[in-house]
Amino acid sequence: MTADTAGRLPDLLYDDTERSLADALKTLLDSQAGLLARTESAETYDTALWRKVAADLGCAGLLIPERDGGAGASYREAASAAEELGAAVAPVPFVGSAVVATVALLACARSGSAEAERLLRRMADGELTVALAIGFATAPDAPFPRSVRVAGPHQGDKASGWARLRGSVRGVADALPAAMLLVPSDGVPHGLYAVDLSSARVTRSGVVSLDMTRQLCDISFDDAPATPIVSGSAAADAVNAALRAGACVLAAELLGVAQRCLDMTVAYVKERHQFARPVGSFQAVKVRLADLWVSVAQARAAARYAAACLATGAADAPVAVALAKAYCSDVAVQAAQECVQLHGGIGFTWEHPAHLYLKRAKADSLAFGTADAHRRSLASLVNLPAP
Amino acid sequence: MLKRESLRERVGELLKSADTSQRQEFLDARFEAGLAWVHFPEGLGGLGLPRQMQAIVDAELAAANAPDNEPDRIGIGLGMAAPTILAHGTDEQKQRWLKPLWTGRQVWCQLFSEPGAGSDLAALGTRAVRDGDGWVVNGQKVWTSSAHQAVWGLLVARTDPDVPKHAGLTYFACDMTAPGVEVRPLRQLTGEAEFNEVFLSDVRIPDSDRIGAVGQGWTVAMTTLMSERVSIGSSRAVPREAGMIGSVVKTWREHPELRTPGLHDRLLRLWVEAEVARLSAERLRQQLAAGKPGPEGSAAKLVFARLNQEISGLELELAGADGLRYDDWTMKRPERANFFGRGPGFRYLRAKGNSIEGGTSEILRNIVAERVLGLPPEPRTDKEVAWKDLPR
């Protein structure tokens, strides 16, 4: 058995701070235009929008303590923000920088890294955007990455304190708009390094991605100069914490995607007439939306529980995050698929945004561990062993 | 208004003045002290306090090992009859019925469904005809739990067949010991008879047992049915792996020889769904406690019905060859509905009722679609037609 056998559960509702942050984001995001055109442009990330989200609304520093210039908020607020960003499929690196890279650096700072703390102070107000150089599909508790290695030093490295990294990472999310990378690197010992993306020895190439509202990139390091942050188990712990936080916040993002798909579809079937009546008056349509509404309501409880557990560092957090990511992945994909289907022909066109939600939902469902991967991790967490 | 502390003091006084070893007398004294249901008015077992303050009373009494009124045994009285009587009964009826109802001296049952009126309850055909200062009732009711133990039945009957179906109904309390009331066990596909059929033949009901105005039966019945939903929704948070999933995970852990990859995948999926359903129920409870009830209550029954069926189906497959055996087909009359203490075959079969009883899953989906999502209602051909002219 795991914790929480007594049935005592944390607050699963939204408090006033969370609601007002979500409202402010929704107001900002509702006024955005040109989302579809951006997916076919040279700059798929909306850096102007990200500045507003990161700096003006303070989302960059939600998880950063106040003494480092952040908001000192918790995963609950980060999850609320992610819901709204998901609902708008906003092309901003919130998850990659304000959650994943931030959580990795917070773990490093707790291990005593002054460099991590310096970076966090620059990230808190949105000035610096950072990405963790790890494949977007990597699940929490995955083995430490080995595709980048510490290479031999160049002349002068000793004075500058640099290490050199060589290798490549495929399919990294939110690295295209970043100015700095955190790179898990193999070596003796393995470690986590900061790499400035202005270096000519780092190459990012944008990937034609399933979800172009969060375009991935492949990154190669050719003896790239790197600042060591932490090494050994501290690095592995930092990467793991980052992946778990990423899975938790993606679950909230998926909830936002699902809710918006449901809302759009309900509005459409009330309006669209065939056979001289709204298509939403046919039971074949109604029951599908009723079932979807039930699933979204359930997903909300799962996503809230995961955020609440990470916020307090509860012992049940690994279970809660696996549960939320497994459940919300399936529900969001179902919601986006229903959105396409129940919009009929228009839902299958390029011009209608339904496909952006479908692609975001499906891509997110594969990211930071599939539903299946999280269910398999639950098997060991809650003692339901495989045959 | 009473504060928490003075409520505790009041419980302390009750415990001092009444003997907890004399169950029935203690319950009488608790009712008189206004500690039965604190949200009810003074003089009717309550103190006019917010509903959530009952938890303070219950905790104090549980700590003192005081006897309770066995709420499982009198669920229909507590959950359905009491709110209906409170909302629509006369002062005389409240005085007469609420105390024996709460103390468990009088069990109540619900005479709503009929063989010809299930999901379409308002189409019911049991007739009540005026006769002097009373009514004479004829008809048949079905799916009546506790009818064989009940002293009173909540009865909806047709008093005017010449108006559209919802307008011609009147609500009564039917004395289940009156001549002409015949209760027969109704055997289910599990083999046992948890429910009854009730035949009403020239049953006389005094007009003083009518609840609400003549022709207002549908409105009163809605109070009864909405109270059922509230009482389901406000139940306590349950621990992880309580309920149906607990039984199957126990077998999984204790019998490695039964495990297969296919069953493992299904088990993990159902474990996730059961745990998410538990969290959702808790979230709903928190919404109610914060005074912000959401529509999620209608989701809960849909989810639990489907999960109970899928989990019990898996449990039977996991049992392998033993799944081909059934524990007992003999006709029994259980005290209350209970999934446990019986084999997986019973759970599998009993769970089939979960998506039918208390509103079918199909009707619940329509309710969610229309009342929560605001989708257009079904085209209705029966709304303006006199009940007697409806096709049947």
Q: Using CA atoms, how far apart are residues A284 and A282, in angstroms rounded to an integer?
A: 5
Facing residue for A301 by CB, picked from B252, B272, B283: B283
Q: What is the CATH number of the domain that holds A161?
A: 2.40.110.10
Across B189-205, average pLDDT: 97
Q: Is B228 a catalytic residue?
A: yes
| Inter-chain touch A384–B302, beta carbons under 8 Å | no
pTM here is 0.93
Does some domain include residue A1?
Answer: no
Average pLDDT of the segment spanning B227-243: 68
* A327/B372 CB distance under 8 A: no
A312 and A278 assigned to the same domain: yes
Residue in the structure block whose two tokens are 């929490």: A140
Q: What is the pLDDT of residues B24-61, one digit of tens each?
A: 999 999 999 999 999 999 999 999 998 878 888 999 99
pLDDT, tens only, A165-217: 999 999 999 999 999 999 999 998 899 999 999 999 999 999 999 999 999 99
pLDDT tops 50 at residue B159 = yes
| DSSP summary character for residue A89 | T
How far is Cα B80 from Cα B78, in angstroms, rounded to an integer? Answer: 6
What's the mean per-residue pLDDT of chain B? 92
Chain centroid to CA B221: 13
Which one of A232, A253, A274 terminates a domain? A232
The answer to whether the CB atoms of A293 and B279 lie below 8 A apart is: no
**Same-domain status, A42 and A169:** no
Q: What is the pLDDT of residue A1?
A: 36
Amino acid at B376: P
Strand duo A273-274 + A163-173: pairing: unpaired
**Which of B240, B271, B365 is opposite residue A384, by nearest beta carbon?**
B271
- Residues A209, A300, single domain; the answer is no
Give per-residue pLDDT as tens, A350-363: 999 999 999 999 99
Q: Which residues of B fall within a CB distance of 8 Å from A291?
A: 302, 365
pLDDT at B234 over 50: no
Domain B234-359 has CATH 1.20.140: yes
Residue B288 confidence (pLDDT): 79
Task: Evaluate if residue B233 carries a pLDDT over 90.
Answer: no
Q: Could you tell me if residue A312 is inside a domain?
A: yes
A245 and A344 share a domain? yes
Asked whether residue A51 falls in the same domain as residue A91, the answer is yes
Residue B341, pLDDT above cutoff 90? no
Chain A residues whose CB is inside 8 A of the B375 CB are 266, 269-270, 278, 280-281, 285-286, 289
- By CA distance, what is B238's nearest residue in A? A7
Tell me which H or E stretch contains B222.
helix B217-233
A331 vs B contacts (CB less than 8 Å): none
Nearest to A13 among B286, B370, B379 (CB): B286
A263 → chain B, closest CA residue? B373
A321, exposed or middle or buried, with CB in 10 Å at 0-12, 13-18, 19+?
Answer: buried
Considering the domain boundaries, does residue A169 fall inside one?
yes
Same domain, A257 and A353: yes
Neighbour count for residue A322 (Cβ, 10 Å): 30
Confidence of residue B392 (pLDDT cuts 50, 70, 90): confident
Check whether residue A297 and residue A371 sit in a common domain.
yes
Segment A62-89, tens digit of pLDDT: 999 999 999 999 999 999 999 999 999 9
Domain end residue (candidates: A232, A253, A286): A232
- Under DSSP, is residue B386 helix (H, G, I), strand (E, B) or coil? strand
C-alpha to C-alpha distance for A150 and B101, rounded to whole angstroms:
78
Sign of the dihedral through C-alpha A99, A100, A102, A103: positive
Distance from the Cα of residue B250 to its chain's centroid: 29
B53, with CB counted inside 10 A (0-12, 13-18, 19+), is middle
- CATH architecture of the domain B108-217 equals Beta Barrel (2.40)
Instruction: Kindly state whether residues A282 and A375 are assigned to the same domain.
Output: yes
Whole-number average pLDDT of chain A: 96
Chain A / chain B CB contacts < 8 angstroms: 141
Look up the domain containing A138 and give its range: 131-232
Checking if the pLDDT of A102 tops 70, the result is yes
**A100 found inside a domain:** no
Question: Does residue B18 register a pLDDT over 60?
Answer: yes
Band of residue B378 on the pLDDT scale cut at 50, 70, 90: confident
Number of structural domains found in chain A: 3
- Final residue in a domain of this structure, among A183, A217, A232: A232
Q: Do A243 and A364 fall into the same domain?
A: yes
Percent of chain B with pLDDT over 90: 81
Residue with tokens 């480092």: A68
Q: Which of B114, B194, B228, B315 is catalytic?
A: B228
CATH code for the domain of A259: 1.20.140.10
Per-residue pLDDT, A80:
98
Percent of chain A predicted with pLDDT > 90: 96
The answer to whether position A249 is within a domain reads yes
For residue A62, being part of any structural domain is answered with yes
Instruction: Using an 8 Å CB-CB cutoff, list chain B residues near A8.
Output: 237
CA dihedral for B7, B12, B17, B21, sign (positive or negative): positive
Q: Do A13 and B290 touch (CB under 8 A)?
A: yes
CA distance A34 to chain B (A): 29
Residue A6: inside a domain, yes or no?
no
Residue B307 is predicted with a pLDDT of 97
Q: Is the pLDDT of residue B84 over 50?
A: yes
Which of A265, A293, A342 would you mutate first to test chain B, the one with the most B CBs within 10 A? A293
Higher pLDDT, A324 or B392: A324
Query: Cα(B306)–Cα(A96) distance, rounded to whole angstroms?
Result: 38
Query: Is A386 within a domain?
Result: no
**Sequence spans of domains, chain B:** 1-68, 108-217, 234-359
Q: What is the pLDDT of residue B51?
A: 83
**Lowest mean per-residue pLDDT among A70-79, A133-142, A242-251, B288-297:** B288-297
A375 contacts B272? CB cut-off 8 A: yes
Whether A215 and A118 share a structural domain = no
Residues B216 and B163: beta-carbon distance below 8 Å: no
Q: Are strands A277-278 and A216-231 parallel, antiparallel or unpaired?
A: unpaired
* CATH number for the domain harbouring residue A65: 1.10.540.10
- Report pLDDT for B211: 98
Q: Cβ contact (<8 Å) for B372 and A293?
A: yes
Answer yes or no: are the C-beta atoms of B17 and B66 closer than 8 Å.
Answer: no
Contact call for A13 and B277, based on CB within 8 A: no
A81 with A161, same domain: the answer is: no
